[in-house]
């Protein structure tokens, strides 16, 4: 672990990853030794939720309902795509609309957690998209296809996988047509792909949960239930932790899983709260990009609190 002096509180603690799942994965991918640094992020993030299903089944509708009812709890992973925006879609909100050449280069540079060619266009989840949601203290929702879900399943991201099924193919076709966002040719392509997607969604073992979206309200209730959101409004949204100021003069020691930074403040009156503890016992090594679970707090070294908190 290194602490960078003079950096912002959110950017001052970094970990060198040794043999974490991510490093092993990247070593295998590149066929060479890999050095990975990841930023120490205080607190933890809840498991991301991966939602898949054929075009027109209602994924977007269900996700919107969830985000509307629990705005402080969920954040959407904004994917990249090479398809053209629909009339109501905003760049950076619904998707990052991008050129194929740019996206292919970013994929090559390892910026994507997963990507797939779907209905003739390239779609992908950037590592940054998922991490940005987790940084904001929210639970990340990914709307991705079955191939993407398979890649996420094989990655270091620990997630919940949900597949949404239509009641019938006929109903799926009606929804796609009624939505009115695709040309006839695109609708037919999406319907052709839907059969294989449903087959794989049900049988591949990727998805831990399958929900039928027949009646929308019922399906939404079932979704909330499996996310543990039924009943009273959840209160487990953690406030963002406050920043810490790292002084220029300090000494560092280690007791068990706690790293203590002793700040040398010359004035006695300022010398209470002069010890910062970094509890690394719950670290989740695990880039991409971040090591989560770091617990940082100030200790008053002149009180019994020190012994209490360290015992």
Ligand X SMILES: Nc1nc2c(ncn2[C@@H]2O[C@H](COP(=O)(O)OP(=O)(O)O)[C@@H](O)[C@H]2O)c(=O)[nH]1
Ligand Y SMILES: Nc1ncnc2c1ncn2[C@@H]1O[C@H](COP(=O)(O)OP(=O)(O)O)[C@@H](O)[C@H]1O
Tokens of 290: 């971040």
Nearer to ligand X, 17 or 197 (CB): 197
61: partner contacted, choices ligand X, ligand Y, none (Cβ within 5-8 A by kind):
ligand Y
Q: Rounded to the nearest whole angstrom, what is the least distance from the CB of residue 53 to ligand X in the complex? A: 7
Give SS3 for 146.
helix
Cα separation of 170 and 242, whole Å? 53
Q: Rounded to the nearest whole angstrom, what is the least distance from the CB of residue 45 to ligand Y in the complex? A: 24
Q: What is the DSSP letter of 159?
A: -
259 strand-pairing partners: 254, 278
85 contacts 97 by C-beta, under 8 angstroms: yes
Q: Rounded to the nearest whole angstrom, what is the least distance from the CB of residue 101 to ligand X in the complex? A: 18
- By CB under 6 A, name the binding residues for ligand X: 52, 55-56, 60, 79, 83, 114, 116, 118-119, 123-125, 143-145, 147-148
Nearer to ligand X, 15 or 123 (CB): 123
Q: Who's near 72: CB < 8 A, 6+ residues apart?
A: 138, 237
116: partner contacted, choices ligand X, ligand Y, none (Cβ within 5-8 A by kind):
ligand X
- By CB under 6 A, name the binding residues for ligand Y: 53, 55-61, 175, 178-179, 213, 216
Nearer to ligand Y, 59 or 150 (CB): 59
216: partner contacted, choices ligand Y, ligand X, none (Cβ within 5-8 A by kind):
ligand Y
Write out the DSSP string of 48-75.
Answer: PEEEE--TTSSHHHHHHHHHHH-TTTEE
145: partner contacted, choices ligand X, ligand Y, none (Cβ within 5-8 A by kind):
ligand X
Q: Rounded to the nearest whole angstrom, what is the least distance from the CB of residue 55 to ligand Y in the complex? A: 5
Catalytic residues, which ones? 86, 179, 190
Nearer to ligand Y, 110 or 167 (CB): 167
Decide: residue 266, CB within 10 A, 0-12 exposed, 13-18 middle, 19+ buried.
Answer: exposed
- Which residue is closest to ligand X by CB? 148
131: partner contacted, choices ligand X, ligand Y, none (Cβ within 5-8 A by kind):
none
Nearer to ligand X, 144 or 276 (CB): 144
Cα separation of 297 and 294, whole Å? 10
**In 43-165, at which residue ranges do the beta strands (DSSP E only) sit?**
49-52, 74-76, 79-81, 95-97, 112-118, 121-126, 139-143, 160-165
CB atoms within 10 A of CB 24: 13
- Residue appearing with tokens 């290194």: 2
Q: Rounded to the nearest whole angstrom, what is the least distance from the CB of residue 172 to ligand Y in the complex? A: 9
């Amino acid at each position: 672990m290194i602490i960078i002096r003079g950096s912002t509180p959110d950017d001052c603690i970094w970990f060198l990853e040794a043999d974490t799942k991510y490093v092993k994965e990247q070593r295998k991918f590149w066929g060479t030794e890999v050095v990975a640094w990841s930023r120490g992020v205080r607190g933890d993030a809840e498991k991301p939720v991966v939602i898949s299903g054929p075009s027109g089944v209602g994924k977007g509708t269900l996700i919107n309902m969830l985000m509307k009812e629990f705005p402080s709890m969920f954040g959407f992973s904004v994917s990249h795509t090479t398809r053209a925006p629909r009339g109501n879609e905003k760049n950076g909100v619904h998707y990052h609309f991008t050129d194929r050449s740019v996206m292919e280069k970013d994929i090559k540079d390892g910026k994507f957690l997963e990507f797939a060619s779907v209905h003739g266009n390239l779609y992908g989840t950037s590592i940054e998209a998922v991490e940005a949601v987790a940084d904001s203290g929210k639970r990340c929702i990914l709307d991705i296809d079955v191939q993407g879900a398979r890649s996420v399943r094989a990655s270091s991201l620990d997630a919940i996988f949900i597949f949404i099924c239509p009641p019938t193919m006929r109903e799926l076709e009606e929804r796609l047509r009624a939505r009115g966002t695709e040309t006839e040719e695109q609708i037919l392509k999406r319907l052709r792909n839907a059969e294989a997607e449903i087959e794989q969604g049900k049988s591949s073992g990727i998805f831990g949960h399958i929900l039928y979206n027949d009646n929308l309200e019922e399906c939404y209730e079932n979704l909330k239930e499996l996310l543990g959101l039924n009943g009273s409004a959840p209160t487990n949204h953690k406030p963002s932790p406050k920043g810490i100021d790292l002084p220029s003069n300090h000494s560092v020691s280690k007791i068990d899983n706690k790293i203590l930074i002793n700040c040398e403040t010359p004035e006695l009156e300022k010398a209470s709260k002069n010890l910062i503890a970094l509890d690394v016992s719950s670290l989740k090594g695990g880039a991409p990009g971040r090591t989560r679970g770091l617990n940082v707090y100030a200790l008053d070294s002149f009180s019994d609190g020190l012994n209490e908190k360290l015992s």
